[in-house]
Amino acid sequence: MKSLGSYVSKQIISITVFVILILVFAVFLTQSLRIIDWTLNRGLAFSTFMTMASLQMPFFLVVLFPRAPFASTLFVYSRLITDSELIVMRAAGVGNWSLARPGLAVGFFMMLLTFILNLYIQPASFREYKEREFEFRNELASVALQEGIFNDIRKGITVYVRERDKDGQLYGILLHDNRNIDNPETMMAEKGALVDTDVGPRIILVNGIRQTANYKQNKSPDTLEFDRWTVELPSRKAAGARSREPAERFLNELFFATDDERYRNLRYRAEMFAEGHNRVATGFLPLTFCSIALAFLLNGSFNRRGHALLILEAISTIAFVLIFSIALKNYSVTHQWLLPFMYVNAVFPLLISVYIIARPTQFPTPRRQTVPTKAD
């Protein structure tokens, strides 16, 4: 039995790892497109780009971990049925529980990994990603201006640069400062530079003109020529501390975030509760999905053609569980009485599947066909 378990387990594990690697690579490419603009046009170092892209991976591994072992379990046991190996095992007296044990072991291991990801790694990595993103968007490198387009570098500040050389010198600058809506300013300069100081980034304009509108007093714009003018940009510290999203918080912060003023808001507290309970409930899904696959395949007809419908039924079942899980997370924000059903949706199919696998099932033994012989 040990050889049987290791034989099936190795196949499931190898296919699971292969599926996860392929999907992680695909997700890495698609998500990298979101931040590749920072590397190509805004001076982000390649090492920082790789770090930012890698920090997003745990967020997507949480999604992949329940699905990958389910797909590999379906594939491995379907192949065993197609190759008639399960029929031979059944004829040798191997029961459903022994046949299902390798798949359940892999599902249990993936469940533990999912819990670790959900409760620790995913919020830590996503928090670090958002911190770096926030810092990058507010530091000097984030406002590296692109040529030939209007750059919204801060709220209310738009800059157009005709040309920028490799040393960072700017030429043909148009800057519109709308932070004061009653007296917006428009500045044009021959050249300038973006510099960093102890109090935050600054834009230095050289040889230009400034126009200040007087909308409140309904006067003509004030015009001023200058040799040198400095425009202050609000720094990250001046912008204030960043508010953390529920996906960045650990479980204790989701349930007991008393240091956050927004936690007093009932709507925000409900969102935090929904996120926390969803993380715990979805941790069971890898084992649940593997048990669903095994319940359908091991209690169906052991023939080469008849299990295709069973595969379709298993896929439809986990699709229903996933849709119901998403719906419960969304609706439990406004209807908190739905929170316990997150666990029902994740655990009840597991219990039903284990019961189906473990119950004694009588399979008809194949009849021996006798070939009639002619009497002499």
Sheet of strand 150-154: strand arrangement: 150-154, 157-164, 169-177, 185-197, 200-214, 219-232
Q: 149 falls in which pLDDT band (50, 70, 90)? A: confident
For 277-317, what is each residue's pLDDT tens digit?
Answer: 999 999 999 999 999 999 998 886 555 555 778 888 899 99
Neighbours of 359 (CB within 10 A): 10
Residue showing tokens 């699971």: 16
How far CA 262 is from CA of 108, 134, 254, in Å, comes to: 37, 20, 12
pLDDT, one tens digit per residue, over 4-22 is 667 788 888 899 889 888 8
Question: Residues 320-347: pLDDT tens digits?
Answer: 999 999 999 999 988 989 999 999 999 9
- Share the mean pLDDT of the chain: 81
Average pLDDT over residues 257-285: 82
Which uninterrupted H or E stretch holds 360?
A: none
> How many Å apart are CA 217 and CA 366, to the nearest integer?
98
- For residue 159, the one-letter residue type is V
Report which DSSP code applies to 172. E
Packing angle, helices 266-282 and 308-331, rounded to 10: 160
Length of the chain measured in residues: 376
Pairing relation of β-strands 219-232 and 169-177? unpaired
Share of the chain above pLDDT 90, in %: 28
Closest CA to 66 of 346, 370, 369: 346
Which has the closest alpha carbon to 171: 208, 226, 119, 213? Answer: 208
Q: How does DSSP classify residue 178?
A: -
Lookup: tokens for 312 = 């379709």
Domain-by-domain residue ranges, the chain? Answer: 2-138+246-358, 146-235
Considering 119-133, 148-162, 300-314, the range whose residues carry the highest mean pLDDT is: 119-133
pLDDT interval class at 139 (50, 70, 90): low
Produce one character per residue of 315-334: b if its CB has 16 or more CB atoms within 10 Å, e if not. bebbeebbebbeebbeebbe
Alpha helices in the chain (DSSP H): 2-41, 46-55, 57-82, 85-91, 96-116, 122-138, 236-239, 251-255, 266-282, 285-298, 308-331, 339-358
Q: Sorting pLDDT into bands at 50, 70 and 90, what band is 376?
A: very low
Within 10 Å of residue 96's Cβ, how many Cβ atoms? Answer: 19
pLDDT for 25 beyond 90: no
Considering the chain, what percentage of its residues have pLDDT values greater than 70? 81
pLDDT band at 259 (very low <50, low <70, confident <90, very high): low
Identify the top-confidence range among 47-51, 75-79, 261-265: 75-79
pLDDT score of 123: 92
Distances (CA, A) of 5 to 97, 135, 147, 291, 305: 11, 50, 62, 16, 25
Model confidence at 240: pLDDT above 60: no
Answer whether 144's CB lies under 8 Å from 42's CB. yes
C-alpha neighbours within 13 Å on the C-beta side of residue 21: 6
